[in-house]
Structure 1
């Protein structure tokens, strides 16, 4: 099916906990990935593999990237996004939050992750991957629409 439009799916997990300065989110500092390096991003995220659901991908990524199992996922939003003028396919992202899991988060892919830290939602680091920062805005607001877009010309 040459020339057919391709949409790449990905799953993201924002781990949340209550800290001294309010609700905190666990973020990783990307490095050596070729995309948004030196930006803070969801502690666990990645492409949905063929035959896998976004929910299953979120669980797999949490285990592969930060060593967590039993992650109790809550759906946040889906995001259709593009980056006009850039060499990326259009994406459909599925964002989840979690407040319960088994294990202690650790960096399991040190070649791709320079740091892993908890940040208060009210004091996020700079820079955060832009579309993820947009999704984190819904976490801060306490509500999210089931479907959002990012990078398209708004009407």
Structure 2
């Protein structure tokens, strides 16, 4: 039986309708493309706990589990991952790049004007969020 791997992604939108994005660097996966604050959910860790940890580690922001909600899920049809997307009503701290060895740019982009070099399933998830769509799937050609 295949055990799915779970990854949590943060859809962090400010009052100007901008989303925080990071350009991947030196990771071996989609380097040079923009993604979100994200990471794997570790064994024994809840989805919200993983997102809180990743937000602190990658962007130096503090999230509250009470202000967090799952806004989307995208299971991959070609590998063992299920990608969850969470949003928050508020956070503490100013976002800053805490992992320059894995991310060479962090900035806010308007939801309607994402960079061309956005990871395809991230673009799909952000589009789903904007459209109020909770679920979609990734095909091999989409990754």
TM-score normalised by the chain length of structure 1: 0.83
Root-mean-square deviation over aligned CA pairs: 1.6
Task: Please identify runs of 4+ aligned residues in structure 1 that moved more than 6 A.
Answer: none
What is the count of residue pairs matched by the alignment? 139
- Name the structure 2 match of 1:33: 27
Check if 1:148 corresponds to 2:136. yes
Within 5 Å, give how 1:48-127 maps onto structure 2: 48-71=41-64, 72-83=67-78, 89-127=79-117
CA radius of gyration, larger in: 1
Q: Separation in 1 of the partners of 2:89 and 2:113?
A: 19
Name which of 1, 5, 8 aligns with 2:5: 8
Q: Which has the higher strand share?
A: 1
TM-score normalised by the chain length of structure 2: 0.90
Helix, strand or coil for the counterpart of 1:128? coil
Q: Deviations over 1:3-34 (max 9, x none)?
A: x4232110000110122xxx110100000000
